[in-house]
């Protein structure tokens, strides 16, 4: 299909103006769609926040870097004193967090023992035969195993009771607390204001919903978060760089004719009929997709180490790293490595022609063949239908962000549009059409200005809960007499895992109440 690409157009041809007009049309239409979609999703976000106005996170603020009370030598009373003093009419309660790794490990151990007990109770109870069903008594050996496991479970339960005592937990307090207020308006104002003259003390932000909290990251000291983020950024960068090795190898397989010149043993593949077609046609794609498949899992593991306070932010960070990884490797490196394998011999002998040959190879290899567009449109339409079905009927929704993912998607699409424009500026220049290249620069500037406008117009509403919306929801709750019930529910919604009740039977009884309440 090279005959249909821009690389087939001769230098200085007026046909390039057709590509120029298409570039302007596609870019402006893309910006129009992005603007309308951003506006529609913002409206849906506001409506959804009103629809789920009884959520606990609208009344709750996450406070970090809580100092120790000099009088009682504890952080819990420090939080209570601070908010009782500065917000006497709006403050309701707090939930201090604890370093409860040992308790969580014991709970996991207790659940494992409980499963063994249930298995022992159900083993050999019923025996199926041809003549009928008979109930069998447990053997002495099974009874001994059952008694041993129940005794072990009781020991673990007593250890959990001891570790969940107030005196023990007081020594494991973290400088982090979930503070609940009597109105959404108060919580919103607290989360968006500086609480102390020292900016690294009493740091407040809106709490994620209880299902979305990343409890393990709240134990990371706030002052170490920049270091964690830089380490994760460095790790993601190194992964992107070192991934160049398999990408370059794959491009070498795809360019088999050129590879034979530089690696003669590869000619042995031709000895088997049809093998060279399989190797050059299917193997590169299979290898590349195999490597790419493991990348999101690696990125998610790194995002978990960055100290995000919620699972949704971890996944958004994962999406960001995966996107730039794909742009850096699958887009740029894949193109450059393939083009270099084509042009490497000629480039050594004529170094001044490298830009021209590289641009020609890039335009022949990629995102600019008109005949591919119908297939791409069909692919994305089918993908849209599939994902709509997945979201509605298949996926189990763990948390609700009310559209917080959209600004990232908007960002990714905008970067794709900018890359398209920059690529076309270079191609017009190398095709001896400087007028088209210069005339594309205002389009690039317009796109960048559009991006800045969207940041000012829409992005703050996705990062913050507006005072207007908070007050409106409070008024609706007052009319329906639901305000007090909602903030009372919020005060108990953020119980840390180390204080959660045990969910298994022990010695014939089931624990239904937490051991410690604040």
State the SS3 of 435-497: HHHHHHHHHHHHHHHHHHHHHHHCHHHHHCCCHHHHHHHHHHHHHCCCHHHHHHHHHCCCCCH
Does 71 have pLDDT greater than 70? yes
Residue pair 116/149 in contact (Cβ under 8 Å)? The answer is yes
Of the chain, the percentage scoring pLDDT greater than 90 comes to: 40
User: In the chain, what's the furthest Cα-to-Cα distance?
Assistant: 94
Whole-angstrom CA distances from 398 to 89, 329, 363 are: 34, 32, 44
SS3 label, residue 509: strand
463 exposure class (CB count in 10 Å sphere: 0-12, 13-18, 19+): exposed
Positive or negative, the Cα torsion across 65, 70, 75, 79? negative
Does 139 have pLDDT greater than 80? no
Residue listed under structure tokens 């967090």: 97
Does 337 have pLDDT greater than 90? no
Helical spans, DSSP H, in 367-433: 373-389, 406-430
pLDDT of residue 515: 37
* β-strand partners of 134: 127
20-23 contacts, C-beta under 8 A, 24 or more apart: 20/424, 20/428, 20/433, 20/436, 20/439, 20/440, 23/420, 23/421, 23/424, 23/440, 23/443
Chain centroid offset of residue 421 CA? 28
**Does an H or E element contain 32, and which?**
helix 16-51
pLDDT of residue 428: 86
Residue pair 338/361 in contact (Cβ under 8 Å)? The answer is yes
Bigger pLDDT: 54 or 319? 319
Does 82 have pLDDT greater than 90? yes
73 exposure class (CB count in 10 Å sphere: 0-12, 13-18, 19+): exposed
Does 238 have pLDDT greater than 50? yes
- Supply 12's token pair: 């200085």
Q: 393-438 pLDDT, tens per residue?
A: 888 888 888 899 999 999 999 999 998 898 888 888 888 888 988 9
SS3 label, residue 221: coil
Neighbours of 457 (CB within 10 A): 13
Distance CA 485, CA 413 (A): 43
Residue pair 482/54 in contact (Cβ under 8 Å)? The answer is yes
Highest-pLDDT range among 29-43, 150-164, 243-257, 290-304: 29-43
Distance CA 64, CA 200 (A): 9
Residue pair 192/464 in contact (Cβ under 8 Å)? The answer is yes
Window from 49-63, 235-249, 308-322 with minimum mean pLDDT:
235-249
Residue pair 153/114 in contact (Cβ under 8 Å)? The answer is yes
Does 513 have pLDDT greater than 50? no
**Does an H or E element contain 113, and which?**
helix 101-122
pTM of the model: 0.78
Average pLDDT of every residue of the chain: 81
pLDDT of residue 327: 84
Confidence tier at 351 by pLDDT (50, 70, 90): low
Bigger pLDDT: 335 or 77? 77
Residue (of 328, 342, 354) closest to 419 by Cα position: 328
pLDDT of residue 196: 92
Window from 62-66, 94-98, 195-199, 269-273 with minimum mean pLDDT:
269-273
* β-strand partners of 62: 178, 205
Distance CA 324, CA 322 (A): 6
Distance CA 235, CA 40 (A): 37
Bigger pLDDT: 165 or 369? 165
Confidence tier at 107 by pLDDT (50, 70, 90): confident
Bigger pLDDT: 179 or 430? 179
Does 259 have pLDDT greater than 60? no
Exposure pattern of 125-149 as b/e (b: 16+ CB <10 Å)? eeeeeeeeeeeeeeeeeeeebbeeb
Does 183 have pLDDT greater than 70? yes
Q: Average pLDDT for residues 284-289, to the nearest whole number?
A: 71
pLDDT of residue 343: 47
pLDDT of residue 274: 60
**Does an H or E element contain 87, and which?**
none
* DSSP string across 323-340: HHHHIIIIIIIHHHHHHH
pLDDT of residue 281: 60
Does 140 have pLDDT greater than 70? no
Helical spans, DSSP H, in 52-100: 75-86
pLDDT of residue 344: 47
Window from 48-57, 345-354, 408-417 with minimum mean pLDDT:
345-354
pLDDT of residue 40: 96
pLDDT of residue 3: 64
* DSSP one-letter code for 73: S
Distance CA 466, CA 36 (A): 21
pLDDT of residue 512: 40
Does 363 have pLDDT greater than 70? no
- Supply 81's token pair: 């004193």
Does 95 have pLDDT greater than 90? yes
- Taking each helix axis from N to C end, the angle separating 434-457 and 16-51, rounded to the nearest 10 degrees, works out to 10
pLDDT of residue 310: 93
pLDDT of residue 288: 73
Distance CA 144, CA 146 (A): 5
């Amino acid at each position: 299909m090279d005959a249909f690409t821009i690389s087939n157009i001769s230098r200085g041809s007026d046909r390039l103006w057709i590509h120029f007009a298409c570039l302007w049309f596609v870019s402006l239409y893309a910006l129009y769609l992005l603007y309308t979609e951003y506006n529609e999703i913002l409206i849906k976000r506001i409506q959804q926040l009103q629809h789920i106005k009884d959520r606990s996170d609208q009344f709750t603020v996450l406070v970090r870097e809580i100092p120790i009370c000099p009088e009682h030598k504890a952080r819990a009373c420090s939080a209570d004193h601070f908010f009782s003093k500065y917000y006497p009419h709006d403050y309701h309660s707090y939930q201090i967090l604890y370093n409860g790794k040992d308790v969580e490990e014991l709970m996991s151990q207790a659940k494992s023992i409980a499963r063994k007990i249930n298995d022992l109770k159900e083993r050999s109870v019923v025996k199926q035969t041809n003549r009928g069903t008979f109930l069998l008594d447990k053997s002495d050996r099974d009874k001994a195993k059952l008694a041993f496991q129940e005794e072990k479970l009781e020991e673990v339960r007593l250890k959990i009771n001891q570790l969940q005592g107030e005196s023990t937990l007081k020594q494991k307090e973290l400088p982090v607390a979930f503070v609940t207020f009597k109105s959404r308006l108060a919580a919103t104002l607290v989360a968006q204001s500086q609480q102390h003259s020292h900016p690294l003390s009493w740091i407040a932000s809106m709490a994620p919903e209880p299902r979305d909290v990343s409890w393990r990251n709240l134990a990371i000291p706030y002052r170490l978060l920049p270091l964690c983020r830089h380490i994760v950024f460095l790790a993601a960068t190194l992964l992107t760089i070192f991934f160049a090795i398999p990408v370059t190898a794959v491009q070498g397989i795809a360019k088999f004719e050129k590879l034979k010149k530089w690696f003669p043993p590869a000619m042995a593949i031709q000895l088997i009929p049809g093998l060279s077609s399989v190797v050059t046609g299917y193997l590169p794609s299979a290898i590349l997709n195999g490597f790419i498949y493991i990348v999101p899992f690696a990125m998610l593991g790194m995002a978990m180490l960055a100290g995000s306070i919620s699972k949704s932010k971890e996944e958004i960070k994962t999406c960001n790293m995966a996107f730039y990884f794909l742009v850096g490797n699958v887009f740029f490196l894949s193109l450059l490595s393939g083009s270099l394998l084509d042009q490497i011999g000629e480039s050594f002998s004529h170094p001044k022609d490298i830009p021209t040959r590289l641009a020609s190879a890039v335009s022949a290899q990629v995102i600019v063949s008109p005949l591919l567009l119908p297939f791409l449109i069909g692919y994305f339409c089918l993908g849209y239908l599939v994902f709509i079905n997945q979201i509605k009927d298949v996926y189990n929704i763990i948390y609700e962000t009310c559209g917080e993912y959209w600004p990232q998607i908007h960002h990714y699409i905008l970067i794709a549009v900018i890359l398209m424009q920059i690529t076309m500026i270079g191609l017009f220049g190398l095709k001896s059409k400087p007028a088209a290249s210069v005339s594309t620069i205002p389009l690039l500037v317009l796109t960048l200005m559009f991006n800045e406008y969207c940041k000012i117009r829409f992005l703050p509403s996705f990062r913050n809960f507006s005072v207007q919306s908070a007050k409106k929801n409070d008024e609706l709750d007052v009319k329906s007499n639901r305000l007090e019930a909602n903030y009372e529910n919020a005060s108990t919604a953020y119980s840390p895992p180390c204080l959660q009740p045990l969910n298994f039977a022990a010695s014939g009884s089931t624990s239904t109440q937490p051991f410690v309440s604040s």
